[in-house]
Amino acid sequence: MVITMNKCKEYQMMIPDFHKETLNYKDELMFLDHVADCEDCREEMEIYYIIEYGLNDSEEKDVNPKYRKYLNVFDFKGMVEQHIKDRVSYLNWYGENEKIMNFVILINNTILFVVLIVLFIIKFC
């Protein structure tokens, strides 16, 4: 149980970065995988959102209209769930397109390499 609690503390420290969407791809995947099964960490996320939006003046914050409807009725659990769903959807899209972008970069590098070889041959042969 101690190992789990220490792990939870690590993930709970990631909540602000998750909220700001500044976690890297790998860390965000691990974070989402953990909070999918950890009620304690989800509760901590709700507390974070309550403090961030419920206790602070949320009118001054730039909030996505999709999340504003949760704020209007103080449904922070719903807001957390929606944010998690949105991030999972985005990461799935990103993961699919990352493969395509890596392929494009590979093709680009191959073309650049061939051009350099041709220029080398022209210059020195």
Per-residue pLDDT averaged across 5-22, rounded?
A: 90
Structural domains counted in the chain:
1
Q: For residue 14, what pLDDT is reported?
A: 95
Q: How many CB atoms lie within 10 A of CB 35?
A: 23
Q: 74 vs 6, which has greater pLDDT?
A: 74
User: Residue 106 falls within a domain, yes or no?
Assistant: no
Which range of residues forms the domain containing residue 64?
Answer: 2-94
User: Residue 121 falls within a domain, yes or no?
Assistant: no
Q: In this model, does residue 113 exceed pLDDT 50?
A: yes
User: Residue 90 falls within a domain, yes or no?
Assistant: yes
User: Residue 105 falls within a domain, yes or no?
Assistant: no
**Binning pLDDT at 50, 70 and 90, where does residue 4 land?**
low
User: Residue 33 falls within a domain, yes or no?
Assistant: yes
User: Residue 101 falls within a domain, yes or no?
Assistant: no
Q: For residue 74, what pLDDT is reported?
A: 85
Q: For residue 101, what pLDDT is reported?
A: 86
**Binning pLDDT at 50, 70 and 90, where does residue 39 land?**
very high
pTM here is: 0.69
Report helix angle 76-124 to 25-37, nearest 10: 150
User: Residue 37 falls within a domain, yes or no?
Assistant: yes
Distances (CA, A) of 8 to 30, 42, 80, 89, 93: 12, 10, 17, 23, 27
Using CA atoms, how far apart are residues 56 and 68, in angstroms rounded to an integer?
14
Tens digit of each residue's pLDDT (9 = 90 or more) over 41-92: 999 999 998 888 877 665 556 777 888 888 878 888 999 999 999 999 999 9
User: Residue 26 falls within a domain, yes or no?
Assistant: yes
